[in-house]
A and B are shown apart, each in its own frame.
Chain A
Amino acid sequence: MENTYLLLALAPLIGSIIVGLAGNRLGRTLSHSITILGVLVSTVLALYVFNHHVLEGGDVFNQNLYTWMQIGGLNISVGFLVDNLTSVMLVIVSFVSLMVHIYTIGYMQDDDGYTKFFSYISLFTFAMFMLVMSNNFMQLFFGWEAVGLVSYLLIGFWHGKESAVEANLKAFLVNRVGDFGFLLGIALLLAFFGTLDYAETFALADEVNGKTIFGDFSVITMICLLLFVGAMGKSAQVPLHVWLPGSMEGPTPISALIHAATMVTAGIFMVSRMSPIFELSDAALTVVMVIGAITALFMGLLGIVQNDIKRVVAYSTLSQLGYMTVALGVSAYSVAIFHLMTHAFFKALLFLAAGSVIVAMHHEQDIRKMGNLRKKMPITYVTSLIGTLALIGFPGFSGFFSKDMIIEAVHFSNLPFADWVYFAVVAGVFITAFYSLRMFFLVFHGESRVDHHTEEHLHETAPSITVPLIMLAIPSAVIGCFTIEPMLFTGWLDNAITIDSVAHGSVVSLKEHFHSAMGLITHSVMTLPFWMMVGGVGAAWVFSLYRTQWADAIQKRFQRTNYVLESLYGFDRFNEIVFVRGSRKLGDLLWRISDMAIIDQFVVNGCARFARFVGSVIRPVQTGYLYHYAFFMIIGLMLVLTWVLVTGDNPLIQLGS
C-alpha cells in the first residue's frame, strides 16, 4: 500500500516537473496530456484508497517513509497517515483537480502561459496531497506553505496586470500572518509535547491538558488558538479574509480549484485532524465557532452588493467557509467535513460555470451587463441551476443535507454564544439564497443587457469546459443524500476524529434525531431554514426580475448601509491605513531614528568623534617642548616616590596617624 500512496502523491509532481521544464518544447497537447494523465492516475488511486480504507475497512496506515532530520530527540520525517478522513480528502482533491485540469484545456486556450499553468496546478495538487496525507506537523506545514506558494504564483499568473500582482501580494502576506500564528502554535506544541508526530501528540494530549503558560492560560487553549490562526489565514476567516476576493484576479480554473475546493479547506481539514486536542479546550472551540459565525453572516451580506460574477461566488465561498468553521466549533467535525465535501463539488461547479459564462462573454465579468443567457448557453444554465440549488440548501441536493446538519448541530450545542451563532447561521441561509439567486437571475434570466457585439458571438462553450461542469453537477446533486448517513452517523470518520461526547454532545444529539435522508427532506418544510431559503429566493426574484427598480430605490434609501457594504466593512482600508501605512511609517521611523540617528550618527560616527575627542584632549600633552617632557618625567618620578613611600607594609609616610 505504501507504493500506492507514494505514486498517488508523486504522479502530479512528476507531471508538473516535466511540463514545467520542457513545456514549450513538448507543445500544448502533450503538456496537458501528461499533467492530466498524472492527475488521472492520482484520482484512480484515490478512489482505490477510499475503497480500501472506508468501504472495506482497511487499517490505518501511519508510517514514516524518510527521515528528514534528527535533532536531538526530535525526529522530523516525511510520513503518511492514511485513514478515512485522509481518504475522503484525497478523493475530493483529486477529483476536483482532474475536473479543473480538463476545464483548463478550453479556458486557457488563447493564453501564452498554457503549459506553465498546467505545471502549476499539478504542483498544487501534489502539495495538497502532501498536506492531507502528512502524519506530522512539519510535513503539514510544508504542504501548507507549498499550497500558499502555488496560490501566490497562480493568482499573479497574469503578472502584467497590476491588480493581479497586488492581489497575489496581499494573498501571500495575509497568509503569512496566519502562518505565523500557525508556526507559533507548532512551536508551542513542540515545547510542551516534545514531538511533532500526530500519533504521539494525540497520545500525550491528556497529559498536557492541565498545564498552563504565562500564569493561568491553558497551554492546550493557546495551542489551539494559534493553530486556528493558521486556519483563519488559509480558510479566510474574518479578519484574515481580505485576500480571497482579491484572489479572483487569477484565472477562473484556479478560483475553482484552490479558492473553493481545496486550499481554503486545508484549514478546516487541519482543525478536524487536530480534534483530539481541540476537544480539550472549550475556550478555543467557542472562539472557532464565533469567528465562523461572524464570517458566515457578514461575508454573506457582502455578497449581496457585488457586481462581478466571480466576486459573488467568492463571498459565497467565504460565507460557506464560515459555516464549516461553525460546525468545527460545535464539535461536529464530521459535519464540517461533510459540508466541505459537498461545498467542494458545488462551489467548484459554480466557479467553473462562471468561467464558462465569462469565456462566452469574451471575458466580461460584470453581471449588470449580462442577462437572459439561458437560451444561448443551456448546459451552463442547467449545471449552474443545480449548483445554485445545492448552495442554497434546496431539499434533496447535497448542500441541503450538510447545511441543515450544521444548523441543527449549532442548535444542540451548549457552548456560550451558541444562541447568537444559531441566529447568524439561520439568517445566513436567507442571505445565501438571496445573493445566489440574485446572481442567477441577473445572469441567466430577465432582459438581456448584453453588449450587442458580444451578443452576436454568444454561444455555448466548448465540451472541454462543459463536460467538467456536468461531471461536477452530478455529485452536487446526489452525493449528499447518499453519504450523509455513513459519514456522520455510522462512523466513516470515526477512526480519525475524536469527540468528547459528554461535554460536546452535538453530534450525539444529531444522531438521536436523525431517521433517514428522506426523512430529512420531508421534514424540511417544517424547519425554519427552509422557509428562510424560500424567503430569500422570493426576495431575489422580486428585486432582480419583478421590480428591479425597487432594488435601486432601496439602494438609494439606505445609502449609508450600502456604503458600508460596498467598502467591504472597511477591512481593506483599515489594513491599508494601519498595517501598510503603519509599517511604512514604522520603517521610516526606524530608518530615520534607529538607523540614521542611532546607528550611523551615534554609534558609528559617535565612536569616531569620541576617538577624536579623546585625541584632542590628550594631544596637547605633546607640546613639542623638550623641557615639558623632562618636567613630566620628573614630576612622575616624584609621584612614584611618594606613592611607594605611602603604600606598602611599612609606610614611611603616614597619612593621618
Chain B
Amino acid sequence: MKKPVVKVDFQDESPKNGKFKSRRRFIKLGGLAFAGSSFLMYSCSEDDDFNPAGQEPDPMEPEEPEEPEEPEEPEEPAAFDLGSGNIGVFNYAYALEQLEAAFYTEVVANFYSGAMDVDGVSEEETLTDIRNHEVIHREFFKTAIQGLVDNGTITQDQMLPELTFDFSGAVDFSSRQSVLETARLLEDTGVSAYNGAGSIITTPEYLLLAGKIVSVEARHASAIADLLEPNTTAFARDGVLVALREGGDPAYDKAQMPSEILPAVVGLDIIEEEFTATELP
C-alpha cells in the first residue's frame, strides 16, 4: 500500500480546523503506544506494506488478542480500533454509514420548513430516499460484519459496536441550510472515503460491493449540492474535486485514506464514542 493518490486538505468545507484535529489525533495515537509496539509501528509507518514480523499479514485471519500492559490510568477503557484490511474497511464503512443514517433519520423525523422543490422532485422525498439508502447501507454492513463473527472469521469484540450521536452542537435540524450543508459534507466525505478505501480492500467481491455503494453516495452528493445551488456547477464543483495531472482541471473525486477522513469526521464532534484506526493507512 502506498500513500494516498491525492493529498488534499479536508478543510475547504469542513466547519472546523482539520489541522488542529489531526494533531490531536496523532497525540492520541501516540498515547496508545503502550498497547503494543506493533501498533505504534503501524501508526507511524506511511508504508503499510512494512511488516515488522516479516510475514504477509492475512487481513481475514483473526487477530491474536493483544495483552495490554497495565494502563497508566486503569479506569480508562481502550478505544475500539477498527482493525486492518477488509475487516478494518468494513468497520470503517459501518461507522460512516451509521453516522449518515442517524443524521438523515433525524432530518426526516423532524423535517425542516422552507423546502424548495427542484425540477419537480419533492425535496422531502429526496431526503427520505437518501435516509432509506443509508439505513439500508448501515444494516447491510451490520449484517455482513455479524456474519463474519458468526462464521468465526472475527470475534465479536472486533466488530464495531453501535455508535451514538449527538448532533446538537453541529446541526440545526430546523434550518434547511444547516441540514443541507451538513448532508453535503457527509456525502462528499463518504465518496472520498470509499474511493480511498478501495485500494485497502483485498478481494474483488468486497471491492465491487464498495463500488456499488460509493456511486450511490456520489449521486446523493450531487443531488444535495444541487438542492443548495440549483442548476449550477455545484453538483460536481471544482472546489470538491481534484486534478490528477499537471495543468489539468479538477475532474476527479477525492480519494482520502482513513487517516485523513477520521480526524475530520471526529472533528464534527457528533460521534459520542472514540475509536481509532491504527492499522489502516
- Say whether A associates with B: no
Q: Taking beta carbons and an 8 Å cutoff, which residues of B are in contact with A?
A: none
